[in-house]
Amino acid sequence: MAMSEAKKKDLKGRRVAPLVTPSDLGAKASQDIAGGMNAILADVWALYLKTKNFHWHMSGPHFRDYHLLLDEQADQLYAMSDPIAERIRKVGGNTLRSIGHIARLQRIKDNDADYVDPLDMLAELREDNQQLAARLREVHDVVDDARDIATASLIENWIDETERRTWFLFEASRKGP
């Protein structure tokens, strides 16, 4: 059975159509949510890599404990990345495409120092996680205004995870009596 010319044209048009997932949130809300979440995703990737960097370069008498703590925290950050990107696509946005794109959007500062004291590593990561929690709250306000309940729910869980990482980093870096 031959396909009509109109059907062929329609199919061809769909293949070259932009990646805009239909959403009832509206174009402005989708754009605002995607923008906020892409910045969060860039920060998550930057924090993930910094956490792995410190994990790989940990030293000192508490090496094993800190090494394992940072590996666990890096796994949490990595696990956030795909749901963030997929949520951006679900609301009709486009997400990060490259390391360069991440670098343009990230607000978490890199640390390329040859040596960082273990307690300074923990303090820096604690501050970075605090910043991430604050930025997640900012984006939560955006998604609340758009009535994007699904993204708000995910963000609430990520805030809790981020606060837990902050807590553990704080406690692990305290000096004993």
pLDDT along the chain (177 residues), means of 10: 70 61 78 96 98 97 96 98 97 94 97 96 98 98 96 98 98 83
**Do residues 47 and 108 touch, judged by C-beta distance below 8 A?**
yes
> Among all chains, which residue has been given the structure tokens 């949490």?
76
Three-class SS of residue 166?
helix
What dihedral angle (degrees, nearest 10) is formed by the CA atoms of 138, 30, 77, 175?
A: 0
Q: How confident is the model at residue 166, as a pLDDT? A: 98
How many whole angstroms separate alpha carbon 159 and alpha carbon 102? 21
pTM of the model: 0.87
* CB atoms near residue 49 (< 10 Å): 19
Domain 26-172 CATH (choose: 1.10.287.470, 1.20.1260.10, 3.40.50.300, 1.10.3720.10): 1.20.1260.10
Q: How confident is the model at residue 2, as a pLDDT? A: 67
* CB atoms near residue 7 (< 10 Å): 10
How many whole angstroms separate alpha carbon 112 and alpha carbon 115? 9
Three-class SS of residue 116?
coil
> Among all chains, which residue has been given the structure tokens 């923008």?
35
CA-to-CA separations, 46 to 41, 107, 126, in angstroms, rounded: 9, 8, 14
